[in-house]
């Protein structure tokens, strides 16, 4: 199956040229978050990729200046009746494979338990997430809340993977492993806000895992699973390895 994969298009900073209007022979489009803020991208996505099903997982930027507790329902309502499927701990069967999707977030433990507190403190002090995303009670989003969401998401993924009777494609915004950390950030505490150690979830029948968030592109095999990113990044960035056509082949039963 040919899949068109994108994330971190950041349309809130400027629209794309018409490259996305050129239909290919893809059977599925996967958007792994940070497409635009709020539900603003839904109409653009439905129009641009009207010829195929679209999987859309929200990134952290979708939540900026929005309600963490209600935005998901707003996006699902906006997508109702279109070809866009907004997944948050949801599964969708497409062409013989099952897609599992969620934002994921992190547990700040990717560098080890001994560095968790420093990674969490760095996130609370440095990330925009914790001052421009608010909860239903009006208070700012907290690392404790995102960690709870991460735990819920990993438990859900583990159950889905254990019950699956067909090949799986997993789509998250945050990265599931250290394998895709950019070399320039190796060992930095900021990685705790972008990556987690989900090696126990990178197992059969998962064949491909797509993520975004890092603004670093990668296509690696980790634990026998192909882990793929295709991120544009901010307009001012020249993100190395971004594939404008976005086309990837979902692995068959052979090597990833």
- Burial readout 51-71 (b: 16 or more C-beta within 10 A, e: otherwise): ebbbbbbbbbbbbbebbbeeb
Is 163 domain-assigned?
yes
Is 256 domain-assigned?
no
According to the model, what pLDDT value does residue 79 have?
Answer: 99
Is 254 domain-assigned?
no
Overall average pLDDT of the 176-198 stretch? 95
According to the model, what pLDDT value does residue 235 have?
Answer: 86
β strands within the chain, DSSP E = 2-6, 28-31, 54-56, 84-86, 90-94, 97-102, 168-172, 206-210, 219-222, 225-228, 247-249
According to the model, what pLDDT value does residue 24 have?
Answer: 78
Range of the domain at 169: 2-249
The DSSP element (H or E) to which 143 belongs, if any, is helix 143-163
Overall average pLDDT of the 193-204 stretch? 98
According to the model, what pLDDT value does residue 25 have?
Answer: 86
According to the model, what pLDDT value does residue 147 have?
Answer: 98
pLDDT digits (tens, 9 = 90+) for 32-61: 999 999 999 999 999 999 999 999 999 999
Is 121 domain-assigned?
yes
According to the model, what pLDDT value does residue 2 have?
Answer: 95
3-state DSSP assignment of residue 131: helix
Name, in order, each residue with C-beta under 8 angstroms of 103's C-beta and a sequence gap of 6 or more. Answer: 33, 57, 58, 59, 60, 88, 149, 153, 172, 173, 174
pLDDT at 19 over 80: no
- Answer with the residue of higher pLDDT: 16 or 79: 79
* DSSP 8-state code for residue 193: G
- Least confidently predicted of 18-22, 77-81, 175-179, 240-244: 18-22
Is 123 domain-assigned?
yes
Closest CA to 63 of 151, 136, 156: 136
Quote the number of domains for the chain: 1
pLDDT digits (tens, 9 = 90+) for 99-154: 999 999 999 999 999 999 999 999 999 999 999 999 999 999 999 999 999 999 99
When the pLDDT of each residue in the chain is averaged and rounded to a whole number, the result is 95
3-state DSSP assignment of residue 26: coil
CB atoms within 10 A of CB 165: 6
According to the model, what pLDDT value does residue 17 have?
Answer: 61
Is 255 domain-assigned?
no
Is 191 domain-assigned?
yes
- Answer with the residue of higher pLDDT: 239 or 222: 222
Q: What is the CATH number of the domain that holds 167?
A: 3.60.21.10
Read off the pLDDT band of 186 (50, 70, 90).
Answer: very high
Omega cis (within 30) before 205: yes
Name, in order, each residue with C-beta under 8 angstroms of 187's C-beta and a sequence gap of 6 or more. Answer: 111
φ, ψ of residue 164 to 5 degrees: the values are: -70, 140
* DSSP 8-state code for residue 25: S
Is 129 domain-assigned?
yes
Overall average pLDDT of the 233-250 stretch? 91
Closest CA to 59 of 227, 249, 193, 178: 193
């Amino acid at each position: 199956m040919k899949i068109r994969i994108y994330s971190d298009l950041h349309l809130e900073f400027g629209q794309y040229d018409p490259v996305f209007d050129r239909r290919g022979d893809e059977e599925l489009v996967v958007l792994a978050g940070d497409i635009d803020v709020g539900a603003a991208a839904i109409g653009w996505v439905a129009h641009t990729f009207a010829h195929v099903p679209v999987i859309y997982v929200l990134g952290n930027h979708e939540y900026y200046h929005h309600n963490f507790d209600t935005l998901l329902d707003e996006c699902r309502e906006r997508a109702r009746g279109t070809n866009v499927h907004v997944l948050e701990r949801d599964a969708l069967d497409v062409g013989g494979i099952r897609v599992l999707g969620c934002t994921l977030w992190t547990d700040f433990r990717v560098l080890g338990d001994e560095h968790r507190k420093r990674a969490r403190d760095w996130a609370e002090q440095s990330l925009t997430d914790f001052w421009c995303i608010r909860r239903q009670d009006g208070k700012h989003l907290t690392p404790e809340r995102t960690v709870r969401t991460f735990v819920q998401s990993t438990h859900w993924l583990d159950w889905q993977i254990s019950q699956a009777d067909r090949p799986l494609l997993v789509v998250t915004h945050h990265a599931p492993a250290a394998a895709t950390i950019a070399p320039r950030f190796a060992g930095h505490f900021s990685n705790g806000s972008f990556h987690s150690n989900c090696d126990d979830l990178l197992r059969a029948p998962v064949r491909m895992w797509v993520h975004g968030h890092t603004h670093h592109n990668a296509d690696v095999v980790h634990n026998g699973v192909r882990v793929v990113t295709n991120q544009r990044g901010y307009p001012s960035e020249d993100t190395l390895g971004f594939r404008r056509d976005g086309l990837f082949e979902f692995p068959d039963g052979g090597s990833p």
